[in-house]
Structure 1
Amino acid sequence: MSEVKKIATRESYGNALVELGKKHDNVVVLDADLAESTKTATFAKVFPDRHIDCGIAEGHMMSLAAGFAATGKVVFASSFAMFAAGRAFEQIRNSIGYPHLNVKIGASHAGISVGEDGATHQCCEDLALMRVIPGMTVICPADDIETKAAVEAAYEIDGPVYIRTGRLAVPVINDRPDYKFEVGKGIVLREGTDVTLVATGLMVAAALEAADKLAEDGISAEVINIHTIKPLDEELIVSSAKKTGKVVTIEEHSVIGGLGSAVCDALSEKAPTKTLKIGVNDVFGFSGPANELLHEFGLDGEGVYAKVKSWL
């Protein structure tokens, strides 16, 4: 059996920007002294006149992005998630969100899979921060194909968008002819009857692996890929919850304020369901190899399987 292709979604983001730049001359890309890491350097090599390195000044970058957007440009402003969502929150809220400007925030190096950079850079709070900004679309793609589709979709959206990408190479799971990306619409990757696994980002691959292990135990798990955290596909989640009667959310983010909270909000209102939230449990990360950290936090396929099996 051939090995599954893997690519970091930050790489996909950089490649997608180049293709977008070829189609639309109003695309401008900004970065905050991290172009080699966020992969916007790929865009800079092809379109040097449409790329600006703003230096280590994320607040300034977001304000500049707002200015460009006010003149009709579609701006992709990129940095690490910790600095984009965290350090520049006020500028995003007031200068981009409040006037509902066409700024797309490319936030890379999210979650504990940042690895050796440690707790200061392992942003597990960004989805929560971005969800609460009125009018902000929040996207967390699962793989290379989904990231490229998300960048294309973000261009078409009227208003601000937050796109979360990662440092770690992840399996390409959406390489199939029937794949369709639609903002606000989840994707059922596997039908099931006993439990619903709702995952986002790199946790989608882990959910599929866990579902395989659960199947060996005679447990039928439905797997849903929620690439759009906001707006959430409540209809799909509620429908699946009513079918299986149990829901598990899986994210490389704090269990507070992210996918799990969004799903619980929807279910508590429309279909109260027994729910387990798998993620980072209100703790900071620490330095270490990415895959070892995911295992330590129970966020690999094996860890997700063990938590779901124990809960069931």
Structure 2
Amino acid sequence: MRDTFVKTLIDIAKEDKNVHLITGDLGFGVLKPFWEQLPDQFTNAGIAEQNMTSFAAGMALEGKTVFTYSIGNFPTLRAIEQIRNDCAYHNANVKIVCVGGGFVYGSLGMSHHATEDLSIMRALPDVTVLAPGDLVEAEHATRAIYEHEGTCYLRLGRGGEKRIHDETEDFQIGKAIQIKEGEKVAVFSTGAIFDEAVEASEMLKKGGINPALYTFPTVKPIDSETIRECAKEFDLIVTVEEHNVIGGFGSAVSEVMAELVGTKARVLKIGLNDKYSSIVGSQKYLRDVYGMSCTKIVEKVKGVLSEQNINLS
């Protein structure tokens, strides 16, 4: 995803000289093509993410469209006051990019695990929050936040993610994308954990359960219309996120569901169950330990269906 982001941003910046990229002293292997081709549109702010964010806000208020780039929690949680006061409050055209959402940097410990960023960023007024699920969505999301006026947050994976879409037509901020139709169960996913949701969907189908599958590249504004439609059509909605289940994507879906009147689906939220990881390991390993792998998703869905006595025939 990060390579896709950089390639897309280079194309954008070549056409718009007001685009500027600021890094917090990292990503040089990935960002090298940008600074080599566009040296006057690139700044290394050093390991000083608060300063980077305020600097970006100042440039944006002078007419620039500024992208800040760092890993995990550093461009978000470390600089949250500057994002709130300097960027969001002024509706500044700052695009905050996190590479390494969730457990991407799992072996570096909880300081590098980005598992509260979606909830914190979506709580800030006027901040648009995107978490693309694959390379195609990452490209469209990069272009979308560039075109969108105001402060945005883009949460990326790291590298090696699968290309799941052949192409995505009519990508829009605030719109979910239906991947496949199904019955009784609908699986909603946001971010790079989409690959686990796809595999879980295929495993469920082999077991006689045919879930519908949706990806939500936008967490805020959430696609309320799709949620409402699915709540009426399906018995169970499963939300999958590589993030704390408190305040994130599952909570955003649940907020819409809570205001519905009449018969509606049950919600099963799959994510990190309100804890910090005290374990280090690969992203794949930690997903499984904390119940977000494809096999664990299948187990949880089957458990709820059995508990609810939902007839799938």
The bucket for the TM-score relative to the shorter chain is: over 0.9
12-21 vs 155-164, which moves further:
12-21
Cα distance change on mapping 1:42 and 1:115 into 2, 3 Å:
farther
Kept after mapping to 2: 8 A contact 1:29/1:40: no
Q: Does 1:36 align with 2:18?
A: no
Query: C-alpha offsets along residues 215-247 of structure 1, whole Å, 9 cap, x if unaligned?
Result: 122212011100100000010011012101211
Letter in 2 for 1:213: M
* Paired residues of 1:110 and 1:123 also in contact (CA < 8 A): yes
1:274 corresponds to which residue? 266
Query: Which gives a bigger RCO, structure 1 or 2 (Cα 8 Å, sep 6+)?
Result: 1
Hey, what does 1:297 align to over in structure 2?
A: 290
**What is the distance in 2 between the residues matched to 1:270 and 1:30?**
43
Q: Is residue 27 of structure 1 aligned with residue 6 of structure 2? A: no
Name the TM-score, length of structure 1 as normaliser.
Answer: 0.93
Alpha-carbon separation, structure 2, partners of 1:40 and 1:214 = 40
Aligned residues: 302
* Residue 241 of structure 1 pairs with residue 231 of structure 2: yes
The residue that corresponds to 2:44 in the other structure is 53
Q: Is the 8 A contact 2:87 2:151 kept in 1?
A: yes
State the Cα deviation string for residues 165-205 of structure 1 (Å, max 9, x = none).
112421101123x5331110001101111111110112222
The 5-angstrom pairing of residues 116-195 of structure 1 reads 116-176=107-167, 179-195=169-185
Q: Paired residue for 2:311?
A: none
* 119-128 or 264-273, larger mean C-alpha shift: 264-273
Gaps of 5+ in 2: 306-313
Distance, in Å, in 2 between the alignment partners of 1:27 and 1:209 is 38
Q: Deviations over 1:259-292 (max 9, x none)?
A: 0000000001125531110001112123112222
SS of 1:99's partner is coil
**Aligned-partner Cα distance in 2 for 1:170–1:305:** 21
1:257 matched residue in structure 2: 247
User: SS of the counterpart of 2:40?
Assistant: helix
Do the aligned partners of 1:113 and 1:294 also contact (CA within 8 Å) in 2?
Answer: no
Amino acid at match of 1:18: I
5+ residue gaps, structure 1, are 1-8
> What amino acid does structure 1 have at the position aligned with 2:97?
G
Question: Which position in structure 2 is the counterpart of 1:88?
Answer: 79
Amino acid of the structure 2 residue aligned with 1:296: V
**Equivalent pair of 1:96/1:103 in contact (CA under 8 Å):** yes
Q: What secondary structure is seen at the aligned counterpart in 1 of 2:172?
A: coil
| 1:115 correspondence with 2:115 | no
**What is the DSSP-based 3-state SS (H/G/I as helix, E as strand, rest coil) of the residue aligned with 1:197?**
strand
Percent identical pairs in the alignment equals 38
Number of the residue aligned with 1:306: 299
Q: CA deviation at 1:119?
A: 1.0
Deviation at 1:113? 2.5
Correspondence list, 1:62-101, <5 A? 62-101=53-92
Query: Are the equivalent residues in 1 in contact too, given 2:8–2:142 (CA < 8 A)?
Result: yes
Deviates more, 1:253-262 or 1:199-208: 199-208
Partner of 1:102: 93
Distance 1:82 1:41 in 2: 22
Give 3-state SS (helix, strand or coil) of 1:43's partner: helix
Q: CA deviation at 1:78?
A: 0.9
Cα gap change, 1:294 to 1:42, in 2 (>3 Å): farther
